Chains A and B, each alone.
Chain A
């Protein structure tokens, strides 16, 4: 085996150029049973559900493509727009023109149909073997993605989740009240569910595609409680989960939406999980 080991120095476009001597199909042992072969033959599909993200979408796409190019990763970004009235889809089409239809995939829907179904819709024609979910409002920075990937490879984790609450992570833009709400919510969730992760409501995660598929099929909640339920189900199904610290810059544009309704919804969601898992 070592006789055929090819040491590949990453060239800027080695994955998108015409097949040359480093193309996967030309390597004698390029199959998924050799994960330690040099070169990353994984493809990462980013699911980006959007609603009224006309201002943020170009920036997040720019940051994503920059990160993927810099680290020589094969990727696609799937934008699931729920009929945004502010022209998000038009901007998405312009970005498609700039970055290519194989990199920016549009899977729009007619109306606001919820997060869970957005993921189901987006994952249907995803061509990657890994799926990244994140927010489109720039609170999640793509620069963390290589960290996610590195962590996943450590022990072939099924899920890698970003956490704002450990060393290396952090939040910007929260006042004392918001922080208190967040810590209180975490405490109750820990007490009731013991989820094994430090950031339960976080939604910056890397999944193996079939793992995500399995979990979504088992999940019933709506909104961000859905993110919580996914983590709890993952533990229920005994998937391996790792954490990576992330920075969270809240609401660069737009208003943060955490009112009494959200809090009640959160507690209801917690209780449902507590009594059903």
Chain B
């Protein structure tokens, strides 16, 4: 079973349950069936969106930078160039 198949099966199953609730097959209290139940798909989408927003936003803010690595590398490049030039390698 591929991940896509698992995902679509789960989605289909959830959709079926939702439809059953909508048409009254499931034992739901009346207010839930008419007011809450129809909004569930929208709730799911909005929740996913919020999760994405928070996840990406947080990771963006906490993004790690490494300027010391850059400076260390710049020095090493210079060292390498000098050493290799002395050994007759064509260095720009």
Q: Using CB atoms and an 8 Å cutoff, list the residues of chain A in contact with chain B.
A: 55, 58-59, 62-63, 90-91, 94-95, 98, 138, 141, 164-165, 167, 169-173, 176, 179-180, 183-184, 186-187, 192-194, 247-249, 252, 274-277
The total number of A-B Cβ pairs within 8 Å is 88
Given the complex of chains A and B, what is the CA–CA distance between A182 and B56 in angstroms? 9
In the complex, how many angstroms separate the beta carbon of B1 from the nearest chain A beta carbon? 10
Determine if B73 and A141 form an interchain contact, defined as CB atoms under 8 angstroms apart: yes
Determine if A95 and B2 form an interchain contact, defined as CB atoms under 8 angstroms apart: no
* Interface of chain B, main secondary structure: helix
- B interface size (C-beta, 8 A): 29
Q: Which residues of B contact A180 (CB under 8 A)?
A: 56, 60
Given the complex of chains A and B, what is the CA–CA distance between A172 and B74 in angstroms? 12
Determine if A91 and B73 form an interchain contact, defined as CB atoms under 8 angstroms apart: no
Q: Nearest B residue to A198 by beta-carbon distance?
A: B59
Q: Using CB atoms and an 8 Å cutoff, list the residues of chain B in contact with chain A.
A: 2-4, 7, 52, 55-56, 59-60, 63-67, 69-70, 73, 76-77, 80-81, 83-84, 87-92
Among B70, B76, B81, B87, contact of A173 (Cβ-Cβ < 8 Å): B70
Task: List 5 contacting pairs A-B, 8 Å CB cutoff, sorted by A.
Answer: A55-B92, A63-B76, A98-B84, A180-B60, A247-B66
Among A62, A138, A184, A192, contact of B84 (Cβ-Cβ < 8 Å): A62
Q: Which residues of A contact B55 (CB under 8 A)?
A: 187
